[in-house]
Amino acid sequence: MRIFGREPVYLLAFVSIVLKLSAAYGLDVTDTQQGAIMAVLSLAVALATAVVLKTGAAAAAIVNLAQGFLALFLAFGLAMPAETQALWMMAVEGAVALLLRREVTAPVPALALEQSSPVKAGDGRPLSGV
């Protein structure tokens, strides 16, 4: 995968260097904030990679990106109790599950029991006498 004709890892390294140099020459960004910025950027690249490569890992990448944004906001001074953070993450995970659930397929073959219904006969008619 390439962004602007370059590998994402090299772009992340460049952004990291620019951020550190900017902080060294006057940009008011703490070490914690720099780490949070880089974490979110890394997670964004991971999400893009999961979507582009079609690995099926998009849901995990979306949840991780949301966690990264939460960490970024906290690093920049957002005051949020742990219970509220957990509720926000549950909302993100629930939305991802609703949106992507139908797209996930188990990597194992289906069992014969999963292919039929115990309520219907083999020809699709409901069983009688039950």
- Tens digit of pLDDT at every position of the chain (130 positions): 666 666 666 777 788 788 888 888 888 888 888 888 888 888 888 887 777 777 667 777 888 888 888 888 888 888 888 888 888 888 988 888 887 766 555 566 666 766 666 666 555 555 555 5
The domain tally of the chain equals 1
In-domain check, residue 30 = yes
In-domain check, residue 55 = yes
- pTM comes to 0.57
In-domain check, residue 28 = yes
Q: Which domain holds residue 21?
A: 8-101
Pick the closest to residue 60 from 4, 107, 104 (CA basis). Answer: 104
